Amino acid sequence: NPDAWSNLGSGTVTIKFYINDSFGKIGFDEVSIRKDIDMPEITINSPTNNTAFRLSPFINLTINEPNLDKVWYTLDGGITNYTITGLTGTLNQTAWDALSEGDFNVELFANDTMGNINNLITLHLSKDITGPTITIIRPIDDKKFGRDAPVFELNITDENGVGST
């Protein structure tokens, strides 16, 4: 019965078949099967959202799925997918090198052996390979000071924001 099947959740289902003959004798057999309609659940252990990286970031995942089949990610909305072997690893180096400096998204996916795919998980990261620049405006080189400490004036710039001074 398709309606009865649709109303069942994931788990083991035992189906019994009965038959009787014209003499009133009854026979039956049963089979236990597993129904899986649950999507894998991805938890990102690291990195945290809105983190900047100079090198390709290390990804560490936990996936709640007893029948895990594949894990992959994309950096371009699914045009190119990269498989993750296990639950840890760094982003593909060629893909990392091709990324422009600045913000980008890592979209993570997992499916199970029944083809159930997780809801979209997006990690927001930033590539920052250019260091900040600092220019000392004052004091000027070779300026002499006595008992009073010098006063500093600096010009600091960074394409992705200055973390600290």
Whether 81 shows a pLDDT value over 60: the answer reads: yes
* 94, 86 Cβ separation under 8 angstroms: no
Residue 94 tokens, joined? 């060629």
For residue range 49-70, what is the model confidence (pLDDT) as tens digits?
A: 999 999 999 999 999 999 999 9
Report the C-alpha dihedral over residues 155, 159, 162, 165, rounded to 10 degrees.
Answer: -30
CATH topology of domain 41-127: Immunoglobulin-like (2.60.40)
| Element containing residue 126 per DSSP (H, E) | strand 121-127
Nearest CA-CA partner of 41 in 96, 107, 155, 118: 118
For residue range 101-158, what is the model confidence (pLDDT) as tens digits?
A: 999 999 999 999 999 999 999 999 999 988 888 989 999 899 899 998 999 999 888 7
Parse the chain into domains and list their residue ranges.
2-35, 41-127
Collapse the DSSP code of 151 into the 3-class scheme (helix H, G, I; strand E, B; otherwise coil) and give the result: coil
